[in-house]
Structure 1
C-alpha cells in the first residue's frame, strides 16, 4: 500500500521547518515543501499530520516570506479531514491569522478550511458560533485587493449559506402539460433543483450570524458603503493622498462587484433574509460627495472626485478613482445631466434593496455596467425559483424603483429573451411581462 512506501525528503523538510520555527528569517526552501506535497496520497497523509501540521501552522504564523508552498502543503495535508476535525487540531485564532494574513496564499488556505464546513449543516452551524472567524472571513472576502481571494470567498460564502439555508431543498420541477414545443427540461437545461447544493434543511445559524448580527452585518454594509477603512476614500494616508484614494476607490469597486455577483444566488436561496433587516444601512459615501458637487455645480464619479459621465466623457480635472477613460484620454468637461441620487436607505430594508438601489453610484460607468449585469442575473435566477406572490411582488418592487430612471437597465432586461436559448425564450418573456414595470408616458395637458 502507498503508506508503506517511504516519503523521500521527509527528514530534510522536518529539519528545515524546525529551522524556520527557530529563526523565522531563515530563507524558505520551497522545493522541500513541493517535493513532499507531490508524494502525498490519501493513504500516507494521516500518519504525517501529528508531525507536520503543528510545524506548518507555526510557520504560517511567523514567516515573513511568501507562504505559498507551506500553505499548499497544508491544504494537501488537510484534504482528508472535515471542518470539525481541523478545528479540533487548530484553534479559531489560527484561522483568523490565516484570513488576516497579507499573503493571498494564506487567505485562500483559511477559506479552503472554511469551505469544508459546507459538507454538512452541523459543520456550518459550528462555524457560525465563531463570530470573529466569520468577521475575518467577511473582511478578507470583501476587503482583499486580490481577485483570486475575492473569487474564492464568493464561492465559499455562497456554498456555506446554501447548505445552511433553513428552507427545504427544492423539488425537481415537472414538465407542465400542454407546454410548447420548446421547453427547458427537454433540452436538459439546469433547474433550480440542480443548482442547489443542500440535500436537507440547514439550521440557518450562519444566515443569522451574517444578516442579524449587527456587528457582522454592519461590517458588510460599511465595506460596501465606503465607510470602512478599507474602502473609505476620505481616509487615504496624507503621505500619498492621490494614490491612497485610488486604492480605496478600487477596493470599494471590488467589494461592490463581489456582493453583486453573489446576491442573486442569496436571493434565490432565501429571499426574505436579504429583503428585510432590523439593521438600517448607512448612506453610501458617494451621497455626500454628490450632494456637495451639486451644491458647487461640479460633477463627481461618486468617489469624491470628478470622473466619468453618463455619456462617457470625463472631467478634465484629475480622476483619482482610476476608472477607465474614453480611450485613455480625458476630454474637456461638458455639462451633462447626472443620474439622480437614489432615495436614502430605509429602515427595515435588507441587503437586496441596499445593493440594488442605493449602493452603486450609477454615474460611475463601470459600476453601472456591473449593476446592469446584476439585474440580468437577479431577474433570470428568480424566474426559476419556486413561484410565490411574495417573490413576484418583491421583484416588481425592486425593478419599479431601479428602472424608473435607468433606461439602459430596462433595455438590457427587455432584450434578455433575444439572448437566451430557444427553449427558454417564451417563459422568460412571460416572466418579464409579469415583473417589469410599464413605461411612464408623459401626458400633455391642454
Structure 2
C-alpha cells in the first residue's frame, strides 16, 4: 500500500469485513466501501487485492443486508480479471445460482454475477464452461424474463445473446467444415427441457406455469422475448423456427418452436393494443434482422422470415392494418395506434416498392395539394419509412427527384404535408415504449444515430432544392385565417429548431449551402436566417376585432400566437445551452433579442393594433 490515506481506508475496510464475517448482521460501512472503491484498486499490492477479493467473495452470500457496497467494490477489484482468473477463486466459492435469484433486493447481487459471467463472452472455452453449469443457465434465463429490474433484464438478455454468438457453429456451405464454437450454449438453451420450458412458462398467459407471476409481469416477459428472438434468428433461423421438445410445445398449442409460440400464440393481441403494437414491431425486426444474414437467400424479399410471415398469415394480417381493410381492427383508435408500426413493416419488407408507390401517389399538381383531399395515408407511410429509404443517391437535381420527399411542396401545400415534413426532418423519436411495470424497450443507438444523420441530410437536400422553403413557412405561419396550415408551419419550424440530428460522413449533403450540425444553428444560417428568425421576432398576428380576442383561448389567433411563442422559447433554450457550452461563439446579442421577445408574451400590444388577418397567397 503506497498511500498513507489509502492505508487508512484499507485498515477500516479490513476491520469492517472482519466484523461482518464474525456477525452477518453487522452493518457494512458504506462510506468506507465507497472510499475503497475510489482509492484502493490502484494502490493495492497483488497480495492485498487477492486477500480483499477472497474476503468479499466469502461474506457476500451470507449477508443479511443490502450487499450493494460489497458487490460494487468486488466488481471494481475484478475489473481486469479474465473469466479464467475468476474461476481460480474457486467455483464453489462463487454463488452463481443464488446470485441470479429474482427479487428487488437482489439487484446488486444480480449485477455482480452478470459482471462475472460477461467475462465468459470472449473465449469459446469460457462460454462452453458457462453452458456446463445447468443451474446457473436456468437461473440466468429465469432472471432475464422475470426480474422486475429493467437494467438487470437488459444485461441478462445481452449476456445470453453474446454467449450464443461466441458459441455458435458457423458453416458457410453445406459441405464446408464447421467453424466457431461447439454449440454447447445453444444445446443448453434449446436442448435442455427445464430451460426451454421456463421460457414458455414465464411468457404464457393461459398455459400451465409453475412461476408465480402477475399478468403484467408476464407481459414484460413477452416483450423481452419478442425483442430477443430476431437477433437469435439472424444467427440460426432453424433454432427458433423448429421444434425442440414437442411435448412441451404442444402443451402451449405449438407444433413447431419458439417462433410460432411468440408470433402466433403468446400475445393476446385482441385485448392488449400495446402488446399488439409490440408484436407488429417484432414482425418488422424479424424481417430486418433475417433479410441480409440468411445464407443462400436470393433476394431481400425472399428470406426465411418473410416466407414464414406469408405462410402463417401474419403478413396479410399486418398488411391489412396498413390498408385498413374491413375487419382488420374494430376500434378506430386502435387502428391509428397500430398504423405506424404496420406501415414500417410494409416499408421494411419492400422499401423500393414503397418508394415507387409513393412517387405515383404524391405526384400531384399544386392545385390538388392545396385544395383536394390530402393523401394522408401515403403521407403517414412516408413518415413511417426509415429515413435512409428517403435519401437521394447524391445531391444533383436528377438524384433528388428520385426520392418521394422531393414531391412534398412547401408553397401550395397542406397542413398534412408540413406535419409530415416536420416528423421526417426532426429526426428519430427518442422516447422508448413503456410497458406496465416500467419496462422500456431497448433503443439501438446505431440505428438511432443513422436515422438522426439521415434526417439532417434530408433537411439540407430539401432546402438546397427549395430555397424558398423558409419564406413559404414564414408566410404560412403568419396566415391566421388558415389555422391548421399556420400551426403546421410553426410545427416545421420547431421540428428543425429541436431536431435530433447527428453527423455521419457517408450521408449525401449539398455543397451550395451551409450545413450546421444542429437544428437551432440551421435556423441561424441562410436561408432560414432571412425568414424564420424575423418571423419569430415580430409580434403575433391578431384576430382581436373579429373573434374571441386576446383572452379567448379558442380563437385561431391565440392558438397560433401561443404556438409561435413556444417556438421562440424552444430556439432560446437551444441557443442558451449552446452559449453555455461555447461561450466564445458570441450568442449574447441573439439571446438578448429573444429574451426581449419572450418578455412580451404570446400576444404583445403591438400585435393587437389593426386587427390584422393574414390571407394565403394562392
TM-score category, normalised to shorter length: 0.5 to 0.7
> How far apart, CA to CA, are the structure 2 residues paired with 1:73 and 1:260?
35
Pick from 206, 209, 233: which aligns with 1:228? 209
Paired residues, number: 322
**Is the 1:225–1:282 Cα contact (8 Å) retained in structure 2?**
no
Residue by residue over 1:292-340, the C-alpha shift from the partner in whole angstroms, topping out at 9 and shown as x without a partner, is: xxxxxxxxxxxxxxxxxxxxxxxxxxxxxxxxxxxxxxxxxxxxxxxxx
Instruction: Tell me how far 1:161 sits from its aligned partner.
Output: 0.9
Closer, same or farther: CA 137–22 of 1 in aligned 2, 3 Å: same
Q: Indicate yes or no: 2:225 matched with 1:259.
A: yes
> How far apart, CA to CA, are the structure 1 residues paired with 2:78 and 2:310?
45
Q: Aligned residue for 1:113?
A: 116
Determine helix, strand or coil for the equivalent of 2:38: helix
**Is the 2:20–2:28 Cα contact (8 Å) retained in structure 1?**
yes
Closer, same or farther: CA 403–386 of 1 in aligned 2, 3 Å: closer
Q: Aligned residue for 1:13?
A: 13
Q: Indicate yes or no: 2:392 matched with 1:422.
A: no
Residue by residue over 1:142-192, the C-alpha shift from the partner in whole angstroms, topping out at 9 and shown as x without a partner, is: 11111111111111111111111111599xxxxxxxxxxxxxxxxxxxxxx
Instruction: Tell me how far 1:415 sits from its aligned partner.
Output: 3.8
Closer, same or farther: CA 34–355 of 1 in aligned 2, 3 Å: same
Instruction: Tell me how far 1:261 sits from its aligned partner.
Output: 1.0
Closer, same or farther: CA 36–376 of 1 in aligned 2, 3 Å: same
Instruction: Tell me how far 1:277 sits from its aligned partner.
Output: 2.5
User: Mapping of 1:117-156 within 5 angstroms?
Assistant: 117-156=120-159
Residue by residue over 1:322-364, the C-alpha shift from the partner in whole angstroms, topping out at 9 and shown as x without a partner, is: xxxxxxxxxxxxxxxxxxxxxx310xx2222221221111121
**Is the 2:189–2:195 Cα contact (8 Å) retained in structure 1?**
yes
Q: Aligned residue for 1:276?
A: 242
Closer, same or farther: CA 135–46 of 1 in aligned 2, 3 Å: farther
> How far apart, CA to CA, are the structure 2 residues paired with 1:117 and 1:60?
21
Instruction: Tell me how far 1:387 sits from its aligned partner.
Output: 4.0
User: Mapping of 1:75-90 within 5 angstroms?
Assistant: 75-90=75-90
> How far apart, CA to CA, are the structure 2 residues paired with 1:231 and 1:378?
30
User: Mapping of 1:15-414 within 5 angstroms?
Assistant: 15-41=15-41, 44=44, 46-91=46-91, 94-100=95-101, 102=103, 103-167=106-170, 201-226=180-205, 227-230=208-211, 232=213, 248-280=214-246, 281-282=248-249, 344-346=253-255, 349-363=256-270, 364-389=272-297, 392-401=303-312, 402-406=314-318, 407-408=320-321, 410-414=342-346
Instruction: Tell me how far 1:69 sits from its aligned partner.
Output: 1.3
**Is the 2:2–2:43 Cα contact (8 Å) retained in structure 1?**
no
**Is the 1:353–1:398 Cα contact (8 Å) retained in structure 2?**
no
Closer, same or farther: CA 145–120 of 1 in aligned 2, 3 Å: same
> How far apart, CA to CA, are the structure 2 residues paired with 1:58 and 1:228?
35
Structure number with higher relative contact order (C-alpha < 8 Å, ≥ 6 residues apart): 1
Q: What's the C-alpha RMSD, in Å, of the aligned pairs?
A: 2.9
> How far apart, CA to CA, are the structure 1 residues paired with 2:44 and 2:310?
56
**Is the 1:372–1:412 Cα contact (8 Å) retained in structure 2?**
no
Higher radius of gyration, 1 or 2: 2
**Is the 1:127–1:134 Cα contact (8 Å) retained in structure 2?**
yes
Residue by residue over 1:220-250, the C-alpha shift from the partner in whole angstroms, topping out at 9 and shown as x without a partner, is: 2211224434355xxxxxxxxxxxxxxx112
Closer, same or farther: CA 399–15 of 1 in aligned 2, 3 Å: farther
Determine helix, strand or coil for the equivalent of 1:260: helix
Closer, same or farther: CA 81–62 of 1 in aligned 2, 3 Å: same
> How far apart, CA to CA, are the structure 2 residues paired with 1:168 and 1:115?
26
Q: Structure 1: give runs of 5+ residues left out of the alignment.
A: 171-199, 233-247, 286-343, 427-446
Residue by residue over 1:271-306, the C-alpha shift from the partner in whole angstroms, topping out at 9 and shown as x without a partner, is: 121111321344788xxxxxxxxxxxxxxxxxxxxx
Residue by residue over 1:203-230, the C-alpha shift from the partner in whole angstroms, topping out at 9 and shown as x without a partner, is: 1110000001112211222112244343
> How far apart, CA to CA, are the structure 2 residues paired with 1:143 and 1:284?
21
**Is the 2:21–2:59 Cα contact (8 Å) retained in structure 1?**
yes
> How far apart, CA to CA, are the structure 2 residues paired with 1:228 and 1:61?
29
> How far apart, CA to CA, are the structure 1 residues paired with 2:75 and 2:221?
26
Determine helix, strand or coil for the equivalent of 1:152: helix
> How far apart, CA to CA, are the structure 2 residues paired with 1:231 and 1:45?
47
**Is the 1:118–1:159 Cα contact (8 Å) retained in structure 2?**
yes
Q: Structure 2: give runs of 5+ residues left out of the alignment.
A: 174-178, 322-340, 352-381, 393-618
> How far apart, CA to CA, are the structure 2 residues paired with 1:383 and 1:395?
8
Q: TM-score, normalised by structure 2?
A: 0.48
> How far apart, CA to CA, are the structure 1 residues paired with 2:45 and 2:199?
38
Closer, same or farther: CA 229–214 of 1 in aligned 2, 3 Å: closer
Q: TM-score, normalised by structure 1?
A: 0.66
